[in-house]
Structure 1
Amino acid sequence: MEPVYRGLGRCVCCFWLAVAFDIVGLLVLLIGVFVNVFFYDLLIYAGAIVIFLSLIWWVFWYSGNIEVPPAELEDDVGLLKKDKGALSGIGGAVRRLSSRVSSGIRTSLRRNGAPSGTLADRTRRSAGGPPVVEQVSVAMATMTPQEDTPHSTVSSVASCDVEMPHTTTETSPT
């Protein structure tokens, strides 16, 4: 036999915590507004924050008192009626299809690792092969300025021609 809840419902503790937070927050807020102290702004903000935090307890109390009849929970938590069978009709076919698709996606993600966000990676994965990793080599060299006039240098990096301007640094006497 289920207990009968009256008045405040099942989550009485959350209700009283919400009321206590509201009362304390309102008192702190009103003290900050009406009492002449040098830290009144701290009291006003603290009271408002405590009242805001009471919303958490109100949501817990409200959501804890929502009653859903077991007939409506059938599809949500897997409680299927005995006389209907586990999978029947169009609903059963849709449920089987959904289960197959989601399990296929899960096994694909486990096999290939987490999908990356680039379009090229997605097209490589959809082609059926493993993801291709490209390496980019970067050549760096220390250069000394040979003349004060700016000129362009052409360097070959990974079979690409990139023009980079030559720059010089001027120092002022101190």
Structure 2
Amino acid sequence: MEPVYRGLGRCVCCFWLAVAFDIVGLLVLLIGVFVNVFFYDLLIYAGAIVIFLSLIWWVFWYSGNIEVPPAELEDDVGLLKKDKGALSGISGAVRRLSSRVSSGIRTSLRRNGAPSGTRADRTQRSAGGPTLVEQVAVAMATMTPQEDTPHSTVSSVASCDVEMPHTTTETSPT
């Protein structure tokens, strides 16, 4: 048997906290308005803020006392009625299809990290083919200018010949 709530409803604690915040906020605000102190503006703002914070407790109290009949909750929490006939068969099939598609997308994103851009990439990943990764080695060296005529330097790195033009950097005297 369900308990019967009278008067304030289920969330009595939230109700009394809201009332207490309202009373304290109003007292602080009125003290700031009518008492001659040098920090009256602080009291006015603090009272207004406390009254505003009481709204949180009022919302908790109100939303905690909303009653929804179990018949309306059945579909929302997954408790489907068995006597809906053909309509429940179609909606059940749609739910199963939707669940399969969303779980397939979720597992695909987890496995691959992110969706790929090309169709060949996707088929190669789904087929489990090897992914080719090319590495390029680049050699860099500090060069000092030896003469004013430009010439090119040939460097051999990982069995590749790379031709790099000679460049100079001009600096202004400081």
Same fold by TM (over 0.5)? yes
Contact 1:148 1:168 in 2 (8 A): no
Flag the 1:65–1:150 CA change in 2: closer, same or farther, 3 A.
Answer: farther
- Bigger drift between 51-60 and 110-119 goes to 110-119
Contact 1:32 1:40 in 2 (8 A): yes
- Bigger drift between 111-120 and 52-61 goes to 111-120
Question: What secondary structure is seen at the aligned counterpart in 2 of 1:72?
Answer: helix
Contact 1:74 1:80 in 2 (8 A): yes
- Provide the TM-score with structure 1 as the length reference: 0.64
Flag the 1:141–1:84 CA change in 2: closer, same or farther, 3 A.
Answer: same
- Paired with 2:160 and 2:26, the residues of 1 have a C-alpha distance of 69
Q: Which runs of 4+ in 1 moved over 3 A?
A: 82-87, 114-174
Contact 1:31 1:43 in 2 (8 A): yes
For 2:2, the equivalent position in structure 1 comes to: 2
Q: Output aligned runs, 1:28-43, within 5 Å.
A: 28-43=28-43
Where structure 1 has 5 or more consecutive residues not aligned to the other structure, the ranges are none
Contact 2:21 2:50 in 1 (8 A): yes
Where structure 2 has 5 or more consecutive residues not aligned to the other structure, the ranges are none
Q: CA deviation at 1:63?
A: 0.8
- Paired with 1:33 and 1:152, the residues of 2 have a C-alpha distance of 84
Flag the 1:131–1:112 CA change in 2: closer, same or farther, 3 A.
Answer: farther
Flag the 1:81–1:139 CA change in 2: closer, same or farther, 3 A.
Answer: same
- Bigger drift between 141-150 and 49-58 goes to 141-150
Q: Rg bigger for which structure?
A: 2
- Bigger drift between 114-123 and 20-29 goes to 114-123
Q: CA deviation at 1:149?
A: 19
Q: When the two structures are aligned, how many residues end up with a matched partner?
A: 174
- Paired with 1:66 and 1:17, the residues of 2 have a C-alpha distance of 19
- Paired with 1:81 and 1:37, the residues of 2 have a C-alpha distance of 67
- Bigger drift between 74-83 and 139-148 goes to 139-148
Contact 2:29 2:48 in 1 (8 A): yes
- Paired with 1:158 and 1:143, the residues of 2 have a C-alpha distance of 21
Flag the 1:150–1:54 CA change in 2: closer, same or farther, 3 A.
Answer: farther
- Paired with 2:54 and 2:113, the residues of 1 have a C-alpha distance of 43
For 1:127, the equivalent position in structure 2 comes to: 127
